[in-house]
């Protein structure tokens, strides 16, 4: 096991109360809603509301920027969710993409063995052991009924392609985006004329029929992944792995995640997936424990070899510099857009006492915040003030998400914006009509600065740029 050197054993996790607060704030303010709520909901699917979709898009954009925009060696891809069924045979998913399931003999509830109280730390070998439930005396956590021995439960969703519902027409909803990148390795490499090492990055929906979903958007049955596959010469894979791992850890820190709530955890040899040579998770200290945010894997040449064998297509790479032909190794960085968005939300949640009142804010990085700026009138009864607000907001909207709100007094308007993480507020008052200046308020410091109307966009952009420079330097 490895842990990050900066790991602070006393790091305080966000509390379970924080989790409940985030779930209710998400619903109330429009970040995340339970899916199909008017029908009583559907387990393990969540919908992103007006603010949530902005946050998640910003998370995805931030990832895309660091993976593709700022690099010369990674290209993007958007493969289909449905793929040829043999893809999943070759990848090993049909045979072994499963979790250990136990069933209660009295209430018939099903559980993932490694999520039962007392079984969380079982090794991968123990989880496959038929006698483990009896040996440990594990009982149903709901009604204390007897539990079955574990059996492997395949997590892939199946459906049928075409108008006939028969075995031959079964297709799967992809459980990961990675395979779309592997089967397009040649297409992407040759069309973009990239030389090794080079990567393919994808963001998209994946589906897993999780046995015990839960903890809000942490574990869902429909979710979004952000995965990058880096194709390298075999002898370079180990070094590339060690380069990608700290880079990925740094990404979360750069966007503001509390460093002491992040750590690295290496998979034990018996925990490694069938394809992996080495795997390290970037973990976050959620209220429900240290859990994976992202997995960085050295997958060897397993994937391209298997797809070569199964498809009959030669997926070797020809290196013009050395005249060698070989199957590249793959270093993968596999993250979740929902888990990342959730982490940014819960980690940025702040409560503080200000003048005898509790001020709630989300200290989101400005690039992640749903709205960058709110334009607020001090007196909504004065039409000239409202007019100026709209003129400023309309101009800002051309470059960033900006919003106008006049449905409360200014103190309450600020608190509302703080609570959804808006980094800047612009307030127009009576003086603005005389001196052509407005107040720019900062969410985190609550400092206010008087700025001429024509300089307001620049001032906000400069502050956003400064926050970005902190990323580059961080
Ligand atoms: P876990 O151990 O939590 O089940 P995993 O090791 O199966 O995760 P990977 O297959 O490595 O996860 O998937 C890459 C990333 O996709 C994960 O780090 C996570 O951020 C995200 N992810 C995986 N499963 C889910 C899910 N059910 N809901 C939300 N995000 C998920």
Q: What is the pLDDT of residue 121?
A: 87
Taking residue 233's Cβ as centre, other Cβ atoms within 10 Å add up to 16
Does residue 378 sit in the same domain as residue 310?
no
Distance (Å) from CA 342 to ligand 1 centroid: 13
Q: Comparing 168 with 23, which gets the higher pLDDT?
A: 23
Q: pTM for the whole thing? A: 0.93
Does residue 409 sit in the same domain as residue 439?
yes
Q: What is the DSSP string of 426-470?
A: EEE-HHHHHH-EEEEEETTT--EEEEEGGGHHHHHHHHHHHHHHH
Does residue 380 sit in the same domain as residue 321?
no
Of the pLDDT bands very low, low, confident and very high (cuts 50, 70, 90), residue 473 is: low
Q: What is the pLDDT of residue 472?
A: 61
Does residue 300 sit in the same domain as residue 395?
no
Q: What is the pLDDT of residue 181?
A: 98
Question: What own/partner pairs with CB < 8 Å and gap ≥ 24 does 78-81 have?
Answer: 78/202, 78/203, 78/204, 79/177, 79/180, 79/181, 79/183, 79/184, 79/202, 79/204, 80/180, 81/173, 81/174, 81/204, 81/205, 81/206, 81/207
Does residue 329 sit in the same domain as residue 400?
no
Q: How far apart are CA 122 and CA 128, in angstroms?
A: 10
Q: How far apart are CA 330 and CA 240, in angstroms?
A: 9
What average pLDDT does the segment 194-200 reach?
97
Q: How far apart are CA 268 and CA 264, in angstroms?
A: 13
**The domain boundary residue, chosen from 345, 379, 399:** 345
Whether pLDDT at 107 is above 80: yes
Residue nearest to atom 21 of ligand 1 (CA): 336
Q: What is the pLDDT of residue 3?
A: 41
Q: How far apart are CA 456 and CA 389, in angstroms?
A: 12
Distance (Å) from CA 335 to ligand 1 centroid: 7
What average pLDDT does the segment 273-301 reach?
94
Distance (Å) from CA 256 to ligand 1 centroid: 21
Instruction: Look at the chain and count its residues.
Output: 474
CATH number, domain containing residue 446: 3.40.50.800
Q: How far is CA 138 from CA 109, 130, 148, 288, 473, in A?
A: 14, 13, 10, 21, 50
At residue 275's C-alpha, the angle toward residues 269 and 280, to 5°, is 50
Tokens of 301: 């040449």
Distance (Å) from CA 336 to ligand 1 centroid: 6
Q: What is the pLDDT of residue 5?
A: 40
**The domain boundary residue, chosen from 345, 367, 386:** 345
Looking at the CA of residue 297, tell me the nearest atom of ligand 1.
11
Collapse the DSSP code of 294 into the 3-class scheme (helix H, G, I; strand E, B; otherwise coil) and give the result. Answer: strand
Mean pLDDT of the chain: 94
- Of 276, 336, 114, the residue nearest 211 (C-alpha): 114
Whether pLDDT at 360 is above 60: yes
**Which structural domain, as residue segments, surrounds residue 36?**
20-82+173-345
Whether pLDDT at 58 is above 90: yes
Q: What is the pLDDT of residue 274?
A: 79
Looking at the CA of residue 208, tell me the nearest atom of ligand 1.
27
Lowest mean pLDDT among 162-171, 340-349, 442-451: 162-171
Cβ neighbours of residue 101 closer than 8 Å, sequence gap 6 or more: 110, 111, 112, 113, 150, 151, 152, 153, 211
- Of 173, 160, 171, 229, the residue nearest 200 (C-alpha): 229
Does residue 198 sit in the same domain as residue 68?
yes
Looking at the CA of residue 336, tell me the nearest atom of ligand 1.
20
Whether pLDDT at 226 is above 90: yes
**Residue range 246-258, pLDDT digits in tens:** 999 999 999 999 9
**The domain boundary residue, chosen from 345, 373, 406:** 345
- The count of structural domains within the chain is 2
Q: What is the DSSP string of 352-390?
A: EEETTEEEEEE---TTTSS-SEEEEES-TT-HHHHHHHH
Among 122, 222, 223, 332, say which to mutate for ligand 1: greatest number of ligand atoms within 8 Å of CB: 223
Residue nearest to atom 11 of ligand 1 (CA): 295
Distance (Å) from CA 112 to ligand 1 centroid: 15
Of the pLDDT bands very low, low, confident and very high (cuts 50, 70, 90), residue 11 is: low
Taking residue 158's Cβ as centre, other Cβ atoms within 10 Å add up to 11
Q: What is the pLDDT of residue 17?
A: 78
- Of 361, 382, 351, the residue nearest 425 (C-alpha): 361
Cβ neighbours of residue 272 closer than 8 Å, sequence gap 6 or more: 278, 279
Residue nearest to atom 29 of ligand 1 (CA): 219
Of the pLDDT bands very low, low, confident and very high (cuts 50, 70, 90), residue 474 is: very low
Distance (Å) from CA 197 to ligand 1 centroid: 26
Whether pLDDT at 312 is above 50: yes
Does residue 287 sit in the same domain as residue 367?
no
Identify whether 6 is part of a domain: no
Among 178, 209, 219, 275, say which to mutate for ligand 1: greatest number of ligand atoms within 8 Å of CB: 219
Does residue 301 sit in the same domain as residue 200?
yes
β partners of residue 332: 229, 297
Whether pLDDT at 439 is above 80: yes
SS3 for 70-123 is CCCCEEEECCCCECCHHHHHHCCHHHHCEEEEEEECCCCCEEEHHHCCCCCCCC
Residue nearest to atom 12 of ligand 1 (CA): 295
Distance (Å) from CA 254 to ligand 1 centroid: 22
Taking residue 366's Cβ as centre, other Cβ atoms within 10 Å add up to 22
Asked if 291 and 283 touch (Cβ cutoff 8 Å), the reply is: yes
Identify whether 468 is part of a domain: yes
**Residue range 372-402, pLDDT digits in tens:** 999 999 999 999 999 999 999 999 999 999 9
CATH number, domain containing residue 303: 3.30.930.10
Collapse the DSSP code of 231 into the 3-class scheme (helix H, G, I; strand E, B; otherwise coil) and give the result. Answer: strand
The position carrying tokens 């660091």 is: 66
Residue nearest to atom 4 of ligand 1 (CA): 219
Does residue 336 sit in the same domain as residue 364?
no
Distance (Å) from CA 378 to ligand 1 centroid: 46
Does residue 337 sit in the same domain as residue 469?
no
Distance (Å) from CA 143 to ligand 1 centroid: 29
Distance (Å) from CA 131 to ligand 1 centroid: 28
Identify whether 73 is part of a domain: yes
Collapse the DSSP code of 274 into the 3-class scheme (helix H, G, I; strand E, B; otherwise coil) and give the result. Answer: coil
Q: What is the pLDDT of residue 241?
A: 98
Looking at the CA of residue 334, tell me the nearest atom of ligand 1.
14
Residue nearest to atom 8 of ligand 1 (CA): 292
Identify whether 416 is part of a domain: yes
Looking at the CA of residue 221, tell me the nearest atom of ligand 1.
27
Does residue 190 sit in the same domain as residue 323?
yes
Pocket of ligand 1 (CB under 6 A): 176, 208, 210, 219-220, 223, 225, 292-295, 334-336, 338-339
Lowest mean pLDDT among 296-300, 459-463, 467-471: 467-471
Asked if 67 and 334 touch (Cβ cutoff 8 Å), the reply is: no
Identify whether 143 is part of a domain: no
Q: How far apart are CA 178 and CA 276, in angstroms?
A: 14
Lowest mean pLDDT among 272-276, 308-312, 320-324, 358-362: 272-276
Among 97, 225, 297, 343, say which to mutate for ligand 1: greatest number of ligand atoms within 8 Å of CB: 225
What average pLDDT does the segment 80-84 reach?
98
Distance (Å) from CA 171 to ligand 1 centroid: 21
Among 59, 175, 252, 336, say which to mutate for ligand 1: greatest number of ligand atoms within 8 Å of CB: 336
Identify whether 332 is part of a domain: yes
Question: What own/partner pairs with CB < 8 Å and gap ≥ 24 does 202-205 have?
Answer: 202/76, 202/77, 202/78, 202/79, 202/177, 202/178, 202/226, 202/227, 202/228, 203/60, 203/63, 203/64, 203/78, 203/177, 203/227, 203/337, 204/78, 204/79, 204/81, 204/177, 204/180, 205/81
Identify whether 283 is part of a domain: yes
What average pLDDT does the segment 61-66 reach?
98
Identify whether 260 is part of a domain: yes
Does residue 312 sit in the same domain as residue 363?
no
Q: What is the pLDDT of residue 342?
A: 97
**Residue range 326-354, pLDDT digits in tens:** 999 999 999 999 999 999 999 999 999 99
């Amino acid at each position: 096991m490895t842990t990050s050197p900066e790991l602070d054993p006393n790091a305080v996790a966000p509390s379970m109360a924080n989790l409940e607060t985030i779930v209710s704030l998400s619903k109330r303010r429009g970040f995340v809603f339970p899916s199909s709520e008017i029908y009583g909901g559907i387990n393990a699917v969540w919908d992103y509301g007006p603010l949530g979709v902005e946050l998640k898009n910003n998370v995805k954009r931030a990832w895309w920027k660091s993976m593709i925009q700022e690099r010369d060696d990674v290209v993007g891809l958007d493969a289909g969710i449905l793929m040829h069924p043999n893809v999943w045979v070759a990848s090993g998913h049909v045979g072994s993409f499963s979790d250990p399931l136990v069933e209660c003999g009295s209430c018939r509830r099903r559980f993932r063995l490694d999520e039962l109280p007392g079984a969380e730390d079982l090794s991968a070998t123990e989880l496959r052991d038929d006698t483990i439930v009896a040996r440990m005396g594990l009982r149903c956590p709901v009604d204390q009924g007897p539990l079955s021995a574990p059996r492997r439960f395949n997590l892939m969703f199946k459906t049928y392609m075409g108008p006939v519902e028969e075995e031959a027409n079964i297709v799967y909803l992809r459980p990961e985006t990675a395979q779309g990148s592997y089967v397009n390795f040649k297409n992407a490499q040759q069309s973009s004329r990239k030389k090794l090492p080079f990567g393919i990055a994808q963001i998209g929906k994946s589906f897993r029929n999780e046995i015990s979903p839960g903890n809000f958007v942490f574990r869902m049955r429909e979710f979004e992944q952000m995965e990058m596959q880096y194709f390298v010469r075999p002898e370079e894979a180990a070094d590339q792995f060690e380069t990608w791992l700290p880079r990925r850890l740094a990404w979360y820190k750069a966007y503001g995640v509390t460093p002491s709530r992040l750590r690295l955890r290496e998979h034990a040899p018996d925990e490694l997936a069938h394809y992996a040579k080495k795997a390290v998770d970037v973990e976050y200290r959620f209220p429900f424990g240290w859990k994976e945010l992202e997995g960085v894997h050295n997958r060897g040449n397993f994937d391209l070899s298997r797809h070569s064998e199964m498809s009959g297509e030669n997926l070797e790479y020809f290196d013009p510099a050395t005249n060698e032909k070989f199957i590249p190794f793959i270093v993968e960085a596999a993250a979740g857009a929902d888990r990342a968005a959730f982490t940014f939300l819960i980690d940025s949640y702040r409560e503080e006492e200000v003048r005898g009142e509790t001020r709630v804010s989300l200290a989101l990085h400005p690039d992640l915040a749903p709205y960058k700026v709110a334009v607020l009138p001090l007196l909504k009864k004065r039409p000239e003030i409202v007019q100026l607000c709209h003129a400023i907001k309309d101009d800002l909207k051309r470059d960033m998400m900006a919003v106008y709100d006049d449905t409360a007094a200014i103190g309450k308007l600020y608190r509302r914006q703080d609570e959804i993480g808006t980094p800047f507020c612009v307030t127009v008052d009576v003086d603005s009509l005389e001196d052509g200046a407005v107040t720019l308020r900062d969410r985190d410091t609550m400092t206010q600065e008087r700025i001429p109307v024509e300089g307001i966009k620049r001032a906000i952009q400069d502050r956003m740029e400064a926050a970005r420079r902190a990323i580059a330097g961080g």
